[in-house]
Structure 1
Amino acid sequence: MKQPRTFTHIDTWVFDLDNTLYPHHVNLWQQVDLRITEFVCNWLNVTPEDARKIQKDYYQRFGTTMRGMMTLHGVHADDYLAYVHRIDHSPLEPNPELGAAITKLPGRKLILTNGSVDHVDAVLARLGLGDHFDAVFDIIAANFEPKPARQTYEKFLSNHAVDPAHAAMFEDLARNLVVPHDLGMTTVLVVPDGTQEVVREDWELEGRDAAHVDHVTDDLAGFLAGLSGPK
């Protein structure tokens, strides 16, 4: 069996945002999910039930519901992002343990997200991690082409001069680690800790045994602290 990639050579640490830098059970994304349903319902003038089906169909087909709404219905990204990210961030609590673990990692720390910079800023502020990252590559920087599209990762790597062979990617969706692994990145899947209820689709929780997943953790802060500098 092929051995998973290690962290001895890593000088760039890349993190997804939602359900990665904060626990799945906070279910913050559930708020966004409901806002997306409302947006689709209002824009297309369909029932909430039909909006839900359309939302999930576009999410699967296009990577994000937004991309489907832009492609098929002429939605403007700014309008969409402003609406769906108008949520209550108060369930998020400061995480000094995670902050300390990130600080000790050698090299750059970057965020690669299908969300917007405004959403990133709001989340990091609540977590107390606002000054822990060197840059954010959001859906706008990706020209609204979401992960897991290969061109999005390639644009990210190019924009931030990242050598994938010396980078690690942390994600909560296994499908978003396929391309990073193919490009040479060390991949880490962040999963729920199993002690509290999470609101996720079944397919979103799959993939921990996939060949493109080098490591799996249900405790990101503990995992990073355990590296204590790459080994």
Structure 2
Amino acid sequence: MTAQTTIRQTAEATPQDFAHVRDWVFDLDNTLYPRHSNLFSQIDVRMTEFVADFLSLPPDEARIIQKDFYRRYGTTLRGLMQEHDVDPDAFLQYVHDIDYSWLDPDAALGDEIKALPGRKFIFTNGDRGHAERAARQLGILDHFEDIFDLVAAGLVPKPASETYDKFMGLHRVEASRAVMFEDLARNLVVPKALGMQTVLIVPHNLEETFGDIWEHEGREGEHIDYVTDDLKTFLRSIR
């Protein structure tokens, strides 16, 4: 796949494929901003630091636990809450204390999002403050109807089905008229089952490391309608 390539599982995306969509739902991290910005790497490091300090472990052992929780519970925080009764506010405040200047403002992406017909939402496993700061740095914050964050989800992260139900109920989203954009294939299983269209965002030009191997499991699954490494170009092509 080249940087200019946008592929679908069965056919090219067309404006007609999305003519019915009125609710556009976007994950934040490594979706609205590109993975190669490395912004999330700052959060990743701070999560390891938090786990190491909280559990009094050396960094290498803390990182193993951090990643194990992430895989089994959806987020490291959920694992810490379930197994160690951590204060979620302390965790979220610590891990999101990062430098947002790593993100380059993207006015062209903002133009494409603004032009989409209907409502636009950010649906993230991070907290609202993090989403607002990242979206503001990108220059796209004002184009969204609302941000549904981990706190609004009752601290139960994607891919839990109850979290999607809560989001859709709160905002009265009709699944058959909605599409979700995500960088983790497993987080698109429930939206597809509910009747939403799904778009998987992969690293730019497929040159970036995916991270943990399991993170890209399911990329060829039937629950993925479209795959793109360039969100801005994809939105332009369907508009």
Structure 2 residue identity aligned to 1:140: V
Structure 1 residue identity aligned to 2:53: N
CA contact (8 A) 1:190 1:220 kept: yes
Q: Which residue of 2 aligns with 1:168?
A: 179
CA contact (8 A) 1:15 1:21 kept: yes
Q: Which residue of 2 aligns with 1:219?
A: 230
Task: Give the drift of 1:30.
Answer: 0.9
1:50 to 51, 54, 61: 61
Q: After TM superposition, what 4+ stretches of structure 1 lie above 4 angstroms from structure 2?
A: 2-5
Deviations 1:107-152 (A, max 9, x none): 0000100000000111011100120100010000000000000000
Q: Which residue of 1 aligns with 2:194?
A: 183
Q: How does 1:191-230 map to 2 (within 5 A)?
A: 191-194=202-205, 196-198=207-209, 200-228=211-239
Take 1:216 and 1:147, find their aligned partners in 2: how far apart are those partners? 19
Take 1:225 and 1:129, find their aligned partners in 2: how far apart are those partners? 16
Structure 2 residue identity aligned to 1:44: L
Task: Give the drift of 1:205.
Answer: 3.1
Structure 2 residue identity aligned to 1:118: G
CA contact (8 A) 1:30 1:199 kept: no
Q: Which residue of 2 aligns with 1:113?
A: 124
TM-score by length of 2: 0.91
Q: Which residue of 2 aligns with 1:99?
A: 110
Take 2:206 and 2:67, find their aligned partners in 1: how far apart are those partners? 27
Task: Give the drift of 1:3.
Answer: 6.1
Take 1:198 and 1:116, find their aligned partners in 2: how far apart are those partners? 25
2:99 to 76, 88, 99: 88
1:66 to 77, 82, 87: 77
* Cα distance, 1:68–1:195 mapped onto 2, change above 3 Å: closer
Aligned length: 227
CA contact (8 A) 1:15 1:170 kept: yes
Question: Which protein has the bigger helix share?
Answer: 2
Task: Give the drift of 1:48.
Answer: 0.7
Q: Secondary structure in 1 aligned to 2:108?
A: helix
Task: Give the drift of 1:199.
Answer: 6.0
The answer to whether residue 135 in structure 2 is matched with residue 128 in structure 1 is: no
Any gaps of 5 or more consecutive residues in structure 1? none
CA contact (8 A) 1:66 1:77 kept: yes
Take 1:25 and 1:103, find their aligned partners in 2: how far apart are those partners? 24
Q: Secondary structure in 2 aligned to 1:87?
A: coil
Q: Which residue of 1 aligns with 2:5?
A: none
CA contact (8 A) 1:58 1:68 kept: yes
Task: Give the drift of 1:185.
Answer: 0.3
Take 1:136 and 1:151, find their aligned partners in 2: how far apart are those partners? 17
The answer to whether residue 169 in structure 2 is matched with residue 158 in structure 1 is: yes
Structure 1 residue identity aligned to 2:96: H
TM-score by length of 1: 0.94
